[in-house]
Amino acid sequence: MNDRSNPALGVTEAALPGAMVKPSGSPADATYGRTGQLYARHALPVRIMHWINVVALTLMFMTGLQIFNSHPALYWGASSYTGRPPWLEIGARQDAQGKATGYTRVLGHEWTTTGVLGVSTDDGRLYAQGFPGWLTVPSHQWLSMARSWHFFFAWVFFVNGICYVLYTIASRHLARDLWPTRADLRGIGRSIVDHLRFRHPTGEAAKRYNVLQKFAYLMVIFVLLPLIILMGFGMSPRLDTLFGGWVGWFGGRQSVRSLHFIIGWLLVAFVLIHVFEVIVTGLWNNLRSMITGRYRVPAETSHE
Amino acid sequence: MNDRKRAITPRVFAVLDSAKTAEPAHALPYGSRRRFLARMVASVGALTMAGCDRLSQSEWFPKILDSAEKLNQSLGKLVTGRKAMAQEFTAADLSPTFRSNGTAEPNNPEYAALAMNGFRDYALDVSGLVARPRRFTLEELRALPSRTQITRHDCVEGWSAIGKWQGTRLSALLDAVQPSAAARYVVFHCADPMEDDGQSPYYESIDMDDAHHEQTILAYALNDKPLPIANGAPIRLRVERQLGYKHAKYVMRLELVESFAHIGGGKGGYWEDQGYQWYAGI
């Protein structure tokens, strides 16, 4: 790490004309990262790409659920009709009195999920639909429109993602801020304990991503997101023609559809944890740093 | 655009008494700040959703969204090449029964009369931008070069089924009628009406790349038996690198055209006229 540029998260003070902290001559100057001062945390390209990603991923998730609702069942293998039941199925049934029940069946276990999955209410009416209208775009069953949204924002997300990866490499954001250092790796156990106790880094340490955070980001950026794109490609009958049927490597087209769905929910889990951490480590401070770039370093605590 | 037609009406079970679904007043001792935040998030969410629905209903926004269709098509061609072959499977992969979707029995008296007679009087009419327009009986179609393939059928809804198809290679049929240089699409006119009043016959279209593709066939057999009515008897299109709605069933007439703007709703197919993408390779 190059101390002269004080490079936390890819932004040097000099590179950001609007930075509120004036770099003093000496890198060792204690006032530089002093508590309570605004610190330039996120570079402008990162901020822009982050919010484009928020919009694109949210819309792809919600339109994806609407697409799923056209056939709310998932299978393993190349085809849906193999003689084996789907491993996941959301459905609706109606008894002789006309009473509707929504159910969700996973690996042979069935739950009644009326009101949320299978059968749900919109504007005072009961609908037979996999996921409820408040979770999908469009809110009512409309497959063709959901596909139009999904593919448009898939391109937005794809191009944005390529730009992000190129930027993180070129700006050394990846090498400097995201890649775990040896010290990080040694501190994994301690970081886990800190997270469980909701004890968050302060002072100098708060300027850097912690090791669990680094792993979470790297996992999302370089594993989950590329994989969900690949699984999306795998559902295209045209792109499936490559290498004589590469989807077979992932179990076949219906497996690929299942994986696309599962990774979508893993990303939701990441977002929930991410937003939770944003809230508990200072909602407004974190939000400001992702909007204006400026982050107020939390006060140094005595236990360090 | 007709929104009623574009949005498929979902199944409504019952209209509930709205009083029963009204949220009970919150008596819980939530912190007011937290409650305010939760309400704000909920309101922003609801507004966003309503906004998305309004955009979907608008005239202009879907046009922007559909600009991605050309990119998808170019990506498919660029990455895979024009002659790329769809994956083929073995007999062990066959679906026990091949699912019938959409029309299972065309509501059309002329078709019914043909079916009654085992399609002995059926003839496929080929016309439009061709040097030698003509009709092909089933016998004549079977005499042309054929292909047998076990392929996966992918429905736009998300499911897949695997079937064994045998049929006339479309490229062989085109060689017989000699399309003119101006022909850019093959349009498939079908016997099944899509409206209850017997109107809006199903139709589809593909470009010449797909028309000449090795796996593009006019199938007359499924799983070694004559094609059942539920799956499109006597002839259905197989265009293996696209989704199921491209695979027109009950094909009665082929028309070679330079543009399909004057046919049906002008978008190149029945479902395309309802808002689905013409390029169904994704």
Structure confidence by residue, pLDDT tens digits, A175-200: 999 999 999 999 999 999 998 888 88
Cβ distance A237 to B64 less than 8 Å, yes or no, reads: no
Confidence at residue B124, expressed as pLDDT on a 0 to 100 scale:
98
Integer Cα distance of B37 and A134 in angstroms:
19
Q: What percent of chain B has pLDDT over 90?
A: 80
Integer Cα distance of A33 and A39 in angstroms:
7
Confidence at residue B24, expressed as pLDDT on a 0 to 100 scale:
37
Backbone angles phi, psi at A111, to 5 degrees: -125, 150
Of B16, B241, B277, the CB nearest to A126: B16
Q: What pLDDT, in 10s, does the model give residues A240-265?
A: 999 988 999 999 999 999 999 999 99
Q: What is the mean pLDDT of residues A269-277?
A: 96
Instruction: Output DSSP code: residue B130.
Output: B
pTM (two decimals)? 0.87
- Of A5-14, A32-41, B231-240, least confident by mean pLDDT is A5-14
User: Which residues neighbour A3 within 8 Å (Cβ) at sequence distance 6 or greater?
Assistant: A27, A28
* Length of chain B measured in residues: 282
Q: What pLDDT, in 10s, does the model give residues B6-54?
A: 344 444 443 333 333 333 334 444 467 778 878 888 888 888 888 999 9
Cβ distance B158 to A71 less than 8 Å, yes or no, reads: yes
- Of A15-19, A137-141, B102-106, B150-154, least confident by mean pLDDT is A15-19
Report chain A residues whose CB lies below 8 A from the CB of B96.
Answer: 81-83
Quick check: A225 pLDDT over 70?
Answer: yes
Confidence at residue A98, expressed as pLDDT on a 0 to 100 scale:
86
Q: What is the mean pLDDT of residues B196-221?
A: 96
Integer Cα distance of B255 and B128 in angstroms:
5
Q: What is the mean pLDDT of residues A123-144?
A: 93
- Of A28-37, A180-189, B60-69, least confident by mean pLDDT is A28-37
> What b-and-e string marks burial along B111-133, b requiring 16 or more CB atoms within 10 Å of the CB?
beebbeeebeebbbebebbbeee
Q: What is the mean pLDDT of residues B82-86?
A: 95
Put simply, the chain A residues between 160 and 179 with a CB less than 8 A from any chain B CB are: none
How confident is residue B5, by pLDDT bands cut at 50, 70 and 90?
very low
Of A127, A140, A147, the CB nearest to B277: A147
Integer Cα distance of B42 and B32 in angstroms:
15
Instruction: Output DSSP code: residue A220.
Output: I
Per DSSP, what are the bridge partners of residue B146? Answer: B168
Gap from A77 CA to chain B (nearest CA, Å): 10
Quick check: A25 pLDDT over 60?
Answer: no
> Is beta strand B123-128 parallel, antiparallel or unpaired with respect to B251-257?
parallel
Helix, strand, or coil (residue B51):
helix
Quick check: A23 pLDDT over 90?
Answer: no
Q: What is the mean pLDDT of residues B80-95?
A: 95
Cβ distance A238 to B155 less than 8 Å, yes or no, reads: no
Cβ distance B161 to A59 less than 8 Å, yes or no, reads: no
B95 touches chain A (CB under 8 A): yes
Quick check: B105 pLDDT over 70?
Answer: yes
Q: What pLDDT, in 10s, does the model give residues B243-280?
A: 999 999 999 999 999 999 999 999 999 999 999 999 99
Question: Of A180, A150, A241, which is closest to residue B154 (Cα–Cα)?
Answer: A241
Quick check: A42 pLDDT over 60?
Answer: yes
Integer Cα distance of B258 and B179 in angstroms:
11
Give the strands of the sheet with A109-112, arranged side by side.
A73-74, A88-94, A100-106, A109-112
Confidence at residue A35, expressed as pLDDT on a 0 to 100 scale:
55
Of A142, A242, A245, the CB nearest to B56: A142
More confident call, A102 vs B31 = A102
Position B277, amino acid: Q
Report chain B residues whose CB lies below 8 A from the CB of A148.
Answer: 62, 65-66, 68, 275, 277
Question: Of B241, B235, B180, which is closest to residue B213 (Cα–Cα)?
Answer: B241
Helix, strand, or coil (residue B94):
coil
Of B80, B154, B155, the CB nearest to A241: B80
Q: Which two tokens mark A194?
A: 């800190």
Confidence at residue B271, expressed as pLDDT on a 0 to 100 scale:
97
Q: Which two tokens mark A56?
A: 């694109």
Quick check: B125 pLDDT over 50?
Answer: yes
Quick check: B103 pLDDT over 80?
Answer: yes
Confidence at residue B42, expressed as pLDDT on a 0 to 100 scale:
83
Q: Provide the mean pLDDT of chain A.
A: 87
